[in-house]
């Protein structure tokens, strides 16, 4: 590795400082010049970071061969997941399909939640998917609470349901 002169270092720093002032099209052209391949990204911040890194690597030296080999070894040993799992384990030993998790604070379907709000009795039936109030089905308790009160409420708080740790 050779030490760069002060003027060469200043030129590189100046070029890096100018990157945010360029358009995405200009950055893509510079990316092609410094990296030797076109960018598949149109994200300005990504292009700026990659170009800045590459300019510094060209000026000061790239990764050592030993570092490259180590990175390849780590990448080969890693179990990379490209998509999210379709089935997750929650709680331990019990399999739940994604999207079918039911909050532990909710009573079983068929139960009726009641509360008095502004001298009016509010009764909501818990359904398998949603909540029925006055013949209408709502997706959440918060939606029911919003309809009844006219303001934003946490549905669990509105109906006095405890959180999963047992505290109110």
pLDDT tens by residue, 5-27 = 788 888 888 999 999 999 999 99
> What's the mean pLDDT when you consider all of the chain?
83
Q: How far apart are CA 163 and CA 93, in angstroms?
A: 22
Q: How far apart are CA 60 and CA 5, in angstroms?
A: 11
Closest C-alpha among 123, 95, 97, 93 to residue 111: 123
pLDDT tens digits, 70-107: 888 887 776 766 776 666 555 555 555 555 567 888 88
pLDDT tens digits, 104-133: 888 899 999 999 999 999 999 999 889 999
Query: Do 67 and 16 fall within a single domain?
Result: yes
DSSP letter at 164?
A: T
Q: What percent of the chain has pLDDT over 70?
A: 80
3-state secondary structure of 112: strand
Residue 82: inside a domain: no
Query: Do 108 and 72 fall within a single domain?
Result: no
Residue 51: inside a domain: yes
Residue 1: inside a domain: no
Domain boundary among 41, 76, 111: 76
Query: Do 13 and 61 fall within a single domain?
Result: yes
Prediction pTM value: 0.41
Q: Which domain holds residue 118?
A: 101-168
Residue 94: inside a domain: no
Band (49; pLDDT cuts 50, 70, 90): very high
Q: Where are the beta strands (DSSP E) in the chain?
A: 87-89, 95-97, 112-117, 120-127, 130-133, 136-138
How many structural domains does the chain have? 2
């Amino acid at each position: 590795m050779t030490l760069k002169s002060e003027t060469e270092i200043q030129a590189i720093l100046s070029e890096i400082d100018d990157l945010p002032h360029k358009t995405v099209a200009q950055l893509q052209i510079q990316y092609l010049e410094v990296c030797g391949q076109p960018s598949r990204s149109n994200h300005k911040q990504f292009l700026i970071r990659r170009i800045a890194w590459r300019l510094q690597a060209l000026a000061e030296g790239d990764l050592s061969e030993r570092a490259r080999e180590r990175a390849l070894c780590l990448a080969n040993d890693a179990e990379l997941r490209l998509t999210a799992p379709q089935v997750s384990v929650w709680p331990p030993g019990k399999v739940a399909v994604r999207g079918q998790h039911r909050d532990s604070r909710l009573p079983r379907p068929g139960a009726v939640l009641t509360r008095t709000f502004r001298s009016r009795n509010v009764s909501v039936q818990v359904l398998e998917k949603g909540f029925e109030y006055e013949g209408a089905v709502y997706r959440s308790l918060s939606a029911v609470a919003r309809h009844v009160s006219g303001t934003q409420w946490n549905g669990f708080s509105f109906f006095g349901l405890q959180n999963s740790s047992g505290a109110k």
